[in-house]
Chain A
Amino acid sequence: MKSPFATAVAMGVGLLVLVGYFVPVPVLAGLRLLLLQWAVILAGVALLVGMANLIQYHVENLRSKQNIGSVLLLASLGLTFMLTLYFSPQSAPVQWLFSAVLIPGSVALMALLVFTLAYAAVRLLRRRPGVFSVLFLGTAILILLGAVALPGIGSLPFISNTLRPWLAQVPAVAGARGILLGVGLGTVATGLRILLGSDRPYGE
């Protein structure tokens, strides 16, 4: 049984923000802004709670499995946190941590996506053979061919200046807009379910 208090707060705040967005009354607009500022502060606090959850899980993981990954994670998390507290987020050591460790790590994982996606493309034909899969892969290959200059050939004449722009700007944009309209309607429906108290992903 969810708490009626939590439900009332969620519904009330949601309705105030919604009405404040549409109705141009200064009091409502001010209240909406205030509530959104509170939400931003709470999101910041929730980030710390998230970090605490991450630490809790890896400490337990360390106790039960002696996982080296958990040791590395806890050590680097603690080091980064202490350095950021001692210096400041804008200081040279912290900036170095970001530019020399965090960003290259993320970029390396992003680079792995090339192989992951190439493998997924091959697997797609094996797993779901059919017209759709062939069309999907054919289009992806045409877009790639049109986007790069091949060694010794340069840009492919028809593909890079006619076919690729047409594919990217006409069928792809039309499809994406259709998907986004569906997503927009789904978002409205989800928001209204929470405002009406039907979905309550909070409290006890």
Chain B
Amino acid sequence: MSVTGSGVSDILGLIFVALFGLLMVVSRVLKQPRPGRDLRPLPALNRLRQAINLTVESGRRLHVSLGRGEIIHPRTAVAFVGLSAMQKLVEDTAVSDRPTIVTAGTGPLGILARSSLRSAYAAANQAGRYRATYGRVTGLTPFSYAAGALSVVRDETVAANFLVGSFGAEVALMTDGSQDDDTLTVAGTDNVVAQAILCASADEPLIGEEVFASGAYVGAGMLHGTSLLTQDIFRWLLIAAMVGGALIKMLGVW
């Protein structure tokens, strides 16, 4: 039986994913990285933490926006990071008079947002305080979603916005609305165009893989820290492979 080119790449892909998973679990057993000690400081997430502490004291609220990720698209991954981080942040602020509002731009994300919110309130022993309207689908097209989320940012005494999900250029409207009220906006996405916009318009943009690190920095789960460590190892492997490949090509070996 001969193995075709696509068969080889499939096997390599499976090995890559299996190794990645194995390393994540093994790292968990060996060491759990902690922010400030084992993880490099991320000022954006530090400021978000401080703002959330002040939010509870000042009677203002946190707004988490999960973007428009479709459930069967890889772009939902970044919204899942947002959901994990949001769950932890809501647990910490569940006793606040002004509850956290979560906005989503697709039906599936809206369902997951409400489910995560309910779990977070239950985990904080505040299940009675949960209301379904804390998780909202504000629109089902990019700009209607941004317009709906903008009304949350402007109308509901929001002290900090945490935008983490799949956004397009419409994210500029949301960050612009939050600037008017002098609120902190920490934002990250997987879309390169939206990242460029966030670089200019957000108070604290999360660049590239920093958005995937937010779970580890807010203490969202046991594998968040070790998956960061694994990402770093694989990043160095990829860099070595790319530099090695370029050198081999330049020398005409292959």
| Chain A residues within 8 Å of B, Cβ to Cβ | 2, 18-19, 22-24, 36, 39-40, 42-43, 45-51, 53-54, 56-57, 60, 69, 102, 105-106, 109-110, 112-113, 116-117, 119-121, 123-124, 127, 136-137, 176, 178-183, 185-196, 198-199, 201-204
Set of chain A residues within 8 Å of B245, measured between Cβ atoms: none
List the A residue with the shortest CB-CB distance to B112.
A201
Contact assessment for B227 and A192 in the assembled complex, using a CB-CB cutoff below 8 Å: yes
Chain B positions within 8 Å of A, measured between CB atoms, are: 7, 10-11, 13-14, 17, 20-21, 24-25, 70-72, 74, 77-78, 80-81, 83-84, 87, 104, 106-108, 110-112, 114-116, 118-119, 122, 132-133, 135-144, 146-148, 151, 169-170, 172-173, 175-176, 179, 190, 192, 195, 197, 199-201, 203, 207-209, 211-213, 215, 220-224, 227-228, 230-231, 234-235, 238
Check B74–A192 contact: CB distance below 8 A.
no
Q: Does A185 contact B173, Cβ atoms closer than 8 Å?
A: no
Residues in A whose Cβ lies below 8 Å from that of B72: 36, 39-40, 43
Q: Is the CB of B223 within 8 A of A51?
A: no
7 contacts between A and B (CB under 8 A): A22-B14, A50-B107, A53-B114, A113-B169, A117-B172, A183-B78, A189-B228
Whether A121 lies near B200 (C-beta < 8 A) is yes
Instruction: List the B side residues contacting A24 at CB < 8 Å.
Output: 7, 10
Residue pair B235, A198 in contact (C-beta under 8 Å): no
Report whether A116 and B172 are in contact in the complex, using a CB–CB cutoff of 8 Å.
yes
Q: For chains A and B in complex, what number of residue pairs have CB atoms within 8 angstroms? A: 211
- Assembled-state Cα–Cα distance A187/B40 (Å): 20
A46 touches B175 (CB 8 A): no
Q: Please tell me which one of the listed residues B116, B137, B222 contacts residue A201 in the complex, with CB atoms under 8 A apart.
A: B116
Q: Which of B10, B212, B222 contacts A186, CB < 8 Å?
A: B212
